[in-house]
Amino acid sequence: MSNYSDNNLLQLIIPDNPTNNKLFGTQKYCGEDFPLRGDNVHEMSLMGGVFEVIDQTLSSHNVKRVLKVKIKVGELTNAEPDALAMAFEAYSKDTVCEGAELVVERVPLRGFCKNCRREFNVKTMCFLCPDCQSTSIEITQGEELLLESLEVE
Q: Which segments are annotated as binding site for Ni(2+)?
A: 42
Residues flagged as binding site: 42, 113, 116, 129, 132
Chain-centre distance for alpha carbon 40: 16
Residues flagged as binding site for Zn(2+): 113, 116, 129, 132
Whole-angstrom distance, CA of residue 97 vs CA of residue 85? 13
For residues 134 and 106, is the Cβ–Cβ distance under 8 A?
no
Distances 136 to 112, 126, 144 between C-alpha atoms, Å: 8, 12, 21
For residues 147 and 53, is the Cβ–Cβ distance under 8 A?
yes
Whole-angstrom distance, CA of residue 144 vs CA of residue 94? 28
